[in-house]
Amino acid sequence: MGSFLVWLTCVSVLSCSISTDEFLVMGPSKPIVAMLGGEATLPCSLVPAMNAEDMELRWFHTKFSEAVFIYRNHQEEYEEQMPHYAGRTSLVRDFLTIGEAAVHIQQVQASDNGRYTCVFQKGGHYAEGILELQVAGLGSAPQVHIEGPEQDGVRVVCKASGWFPKPQVQWTDLSGKKFLEFSEAHAQDAAGLFSVEAALVVRDSSAGSVSCSVLNPILGQEKAMAVSIPEPFFPQASPWKAAFAGILTVLGLLLFGAGCFTRREHSAKLQERISLLHDDWSVTLNPDSAHVNLAVSPEKKSVTWNYTGVDLDDRYSVLGLEGIMSGRCYWEVEIRSGEGCNWALGLCRDHMTSTGWTTQSPDEGFWVVECYYNNYLAWTKSLQALSLRKYPRRVGIFLDYSEGDVSFYNMTDGSHIFSFPPASFSGTLYPYFMLEGYVTLSICPTEGGPEGLPVPLSKSPLEEAVRPPGEGLSSGTLRSTLCISLSVMEKTRMFSTHQ
């Protein structure tokens, strides 16, 4: 061995060979990129080209003893192979006669990322080359939600998981201008995949919406999601606030009296509408329409959150089984939830599915009211913030197909929530429910007939103004009533209704 001339040749950082005077081993000059869960090939070649069939070949990750793959005596050997690579490697031997060999790795994992060494040995002579494998994985699309007011702005949070390597996060406004100041935290799970949470405080009430993008630095690919921030979400501060306090008080009383009168009108209108309903329409849930993370009971009367490990850029929704193509329909949704619950309910067209995110507006085939962190919203041409006096524990939904009327009522206090502008319906409409997190929805069949329907209020607006909370329009027992109970066990997983 004393006569060996040991020398080092490095074409680049990655294409490096330590050799005797017999031959060199060269690896690729650029990193090899492999997708998480996909396949990777780690090639090495002899210089000068020569037959490598009779050589011993070894690939290792960090230490010589930690073998990724071994070829010896014309066959693959597995006794010294690291358990991590067992069953995932094979030799590409098509070009062994000209000194080219490669190890093929299946089901690439985050731990496969890094630098490898390949060693070719013939008798007492050996050489080794160096190559690098870069593993890349696109994780879940970012989920963006409004957490609430903070200082002089609104705090918006963006979350994503399952990325590799550590992703980069960027917030932008409608014009594409980047926000430079935001907090960012990363975590890595047992499989080595990264999750990220980035929080931004938006202080400009005219921003309209902001977008969060999560970028894979190796692939240069990103996933993004935007959220609209209604102006009423921003804290209101005015130097004239004290001066207008008296005026606002008077206006408030006038509006309250007008609201009571309006409620009386809406109550009478709702009772009139319900009296015209038919008896042949009922509601059950359609299991075939339920998202993969939702489980519908065999009797189609309840649906629960059943997380399957699949994080998609989807709506976690389920539709009613019975479609509506004509006539008038009415059902109620009873809502039981903890603080800060989020839900959406209403109607959608028959071609709507849970795949992908769109604005839940009539233009997209949705007539929906939602509660988002105790803020009530509805989309028409734009997002509207709804002002409610009382949290609705039960919501009544009325549809007049021929008139294009979709209206929502707070059956807790008998008030009107919202009516969409008249629409021209075509095709089938379905009751629509959306949820995410540990939520249970149960259909509660009711008994009774017309005598249980809501009745118009008979008291004057002033008498109505002092009525104890909860009194007034009674939900009673209705034909074909749908009662949905929401029991929230996890508040950290929320849905967003915006693109």
pLDDT greater than 90 at residue 222: yes
Using only C-alpha atoms, the chain has a radius of gyration, in whole angstroms, of 32
Q: What is the pLDDT of residues 441-458, one digit of tens each?
A: 676 654 433 333 333 223
What would the two tokens of residue 151 be? 């200082």
pLDDT greater than 50 at residue 427: yes
> What secondary structure letter does DSSP report for 393?
S
Handedness of CA 145, 149, 151, 152 (dihedral sign): positive
**287-443 is classed CATH 2.60.120.920:** yes
Model pLDDT, residue 276? 52
Mean pLDDT of the chain: 76
User: Which residues face 91 on adjacent strands?
Assistant: 103
pLDDT greater than 80 at residue 342: no
Contact 419, 406 (CB under 8 A): yes
pLDDT band at 181 (very low <50, low <70, confident <90, very high): very high
Give mean pLDDT, residues 311-322.
78
Give mean pLDDT, residues 89-117.
95
Same fold, 24-136 and 287-443: no
For the chain, what's the residue count?
Answer: 499
What would the two tokens of residue 411 be? 């059956």
Model pLDDT, residue 54? 93
Nearest CA-CA partner of 395 in 478, 316, 461: 478
pLDDT greater than 70 at residue 25: yes
Q: Helix, strand, coil % (nearest 5) of the chain?
A: 10, 40, 50
The span from the CA of 116 to the CA of 113, in Å, is: 9
Model pLDDT, residue 1? 38
If one compares 371 and 8, the residue with the highest pLDDT of the two is 371
Q: Are strands 328-334 and 317-319 parallel, antiparallel or unpaired?
A: unpaired
Model pLDDT, residue 311? 64
If one compares 113 and 385, the residue with the highest pLDDT of the two is 113
The span from the CA of 327 to the CA of 495, in Å, is: 32
pLDDT band at 265 (very low <50, low <70, confident <90, very high): low
Model pLDDT, residue 92? 94
pLDDT greater than 90 at residue 486: no
Model pLDDT, residue 243? 41
Show me where the domains of the chain are located: 24-136, 143-233, 287-443
The span from the CA of 418 to the CA of 395, in Å, is: 11
pLDDT greater than 80 at residue 394: yes
Return phi, psi of residue 371, to 5°: -110, 120
Model pLDDT, residue 234? 79
The span from the CA of 389 to the CA of 394, in Å, is: 14
Give mean pLDDT, residues 219-244.
71
Percent residues over pLDDT 70 in the chain: 70
Is 452 exposed, middle or buried, given 0-12, 13-18 or 19+ CB atoms closer than 10 A?
middle
Model pTM?
0.48
Q: What is the pLDDT of residues 33-75, one digit of tens each?
A: 999 999 999 999 999 999 999 999 999 998 898 899 999 999 9
Residue with tokens 């919406």: 209
- Judged by average pLDDT, the poorest of 10-19, 184-193, 216-225 is 10-19
User: Which residues face 167 on adjacent strands?
Assistant: none
Model pLDDT, residue 240? 40
**143-233 is classed CATH 2.60.40.10:** yes
- Judged by average pLDDT, the poorest of 283-292, 427-436, 455-464 is 455-464
pLDDT greater than 90 at residue 285: no
Q: How would you label 391-418 residue by residue, b for 16+ Cβ within 10 Å and e otherwise?
A: ebbbbbbbbbbeeebbbbbbbbbbbbbb
Three-class SS state of 274: helix
- 48: preceding bond cis by omega (within 30 degrees): yes
Largest CA distance in the chain: 112
Nearest CA-CA partner of 119 in 38, 4, 23: 23
pLDDT greater than 50 at residue 468: no
Contact 33, 218 (CB under 8 A): yes
pLDDT band at 477 (very low <50, low <70, confident <90, very high): very low
CATH architecture of 24-136: Sandwich (2.60)
If one compares 57 and 330, the residue with the highest pLDDT of the two is 57
